[in-house]
Amino acid sequence: MNIISTPVMPHAPRPIIVIGAGGIVNDAHLPAYKLAGFPVMGIYDIDHAKAQRTAQQFGIPKVFDSISELSAHLPSDALIDLAVPGAAITGVLAQLPNHTAVLMQKPMGNDYNEAKAILDTCRQKQLLAAVNFQLRYAPFINAARSILQQGLIGDLVDIEINVNVYMPWHLWPFVFGLPRVEIVYHSIHYIDLVRSFFGNPAGVYAKTVKHPIMEELASVRSDIIMDYGDRLRASIHTAHCHRFGLRHQQSYIWLEGTRGAIKITMGVLKDYPRGVPDEFEYISYVNSPDAEWQRLELAGSWFPHAFIGSMAQLQRAAEGSIAAPDNSVEDSIHTMACVEAAYRSSEKGGEKI
């Protein structure tokens, strides 16, 4: 048995130019590219001083003064890593040359209308475009897929995601005042992950709510059920207000098959941003009805290692190793449609009694 937790890499990585020098770029994108050996040749941010600090920290040779300058000097083989707020994505894409390869940070806009505008722009400009829904490429997810592909837990019939932690939302000031927060900026990862295993659901049931200690945020707790008929179950429970210590915090992905199961503890979300170690456990009755749970030690975690797989998809598509990135805008629009359905379901409310 050979369980693989690393992504398939491009044959010859192409140079990357980063637009945006915020926390996610410094904490995840650039550390991931350094680990992967992806060359970063330039960076731009509306805050020039911030871009210069990031360039100095990561040894990036060129800091651009504007997107127009960047576009005018964009090498034909370069890829764009676009990490700006969702509402700004369409405007930046419009300034890039046609046929550019772009990986944009999630979400794909703040709502479905913005997502459709992004998709239309990508189609009109014939961009090779992907969205950084990176959880689907985390080492523990790669390992889970490897186990599934080998038939070690039979057919996957149940996905449950449970996150009950304390999230320091003040680290992302831009979310304060937004009409939508929890689903579009957090649970969206889990919706996309479920889709990557089960495909598109027939529908979505959801409720997303506020919390008294975080009244300034639109919502910080959500329950989401993705409808896959009467044979598959997919449920997502998230709550970000657990202030009662680590003992009873939850942060796991449960994958249950007909002949075994996998439990993944996502340590990064506990005591965030410090985090605790991930845990990966599985049980398989395929070869033994008396099997017991086994623990698998994996190298890497969600941050920053999953960001390698997300960029690797775009790199491989750009070099022609695959026809399109797995996380293309054509696929990601369906994740955004599920997010929109979740908000509509929450607003509609439950069946009246």
Q: Where in the chain is the domain with CATH 3.40.50.720?
A: 16-134+316-322
Q: Is 74 in contact with 17 (CB distance < 8 Å)?
A: yes
pLDDT of amino acid 6:
96
**Alpha helical stretches, state H, 59-160:** 67-72, 89-95, 112-124, 139-149
Q: What b/e sequence results for 198-220 when a residue is b if at least 16 CB atoms lie within 10 Å of its CB, and e otherwise?
A: beebeebbbbbebeeebeebbbb
Superfamily of domain 16-134+316-322: NAD(P)-binding Rossmann-like Domain (3.40.50.720)
pLDDT of amino acid 87:
87
The 8-class DSSP code of residue 183 comes to I
Rg (the chain; Cα; Å) = 20
Closest-CA residue to 191 (of 158, 223, 219, 226)? 226
pLDDT of amino acid 250:
96
Max CA distance (Å), the chain? 64
pLDDT of amino acid 1:
74
Q: Where in the chain is the domain with CATH 3.30.360.10?
A: 136-295
Going from the first residue of the chain to its last (353 residues), give the mean pLDDT of each consecutive group of 10, the final group possibly shorter: 94 97 95 98 97 98 97 96 93 97 96 97 98 98 98 98 96 90 97 98 98 95 98 98 94 98 97 93 94 96 97 98 98 98 97 92
Closest-CA residue to 276 (of 184, 200, 166)? 166
Do β-strands 232-239 and 156-164 pair in parallel, antiparallel, or remain unpaired?
A: parallel
Who's near 240: CB < 8 A, 6+ residues apart?
Answer: 163, 165, 166, 167, 169, 182, 186, 211, 214, 220, 221
pLDDT of amino acid 60:
98
What single letter denotes the amino acid at residue 61?
P
pLDDT of amino acid 85:
87
> CATH fold of 136-295, please?
Dihydrodipicolinate Reductase; domain 2 (3.30.360)
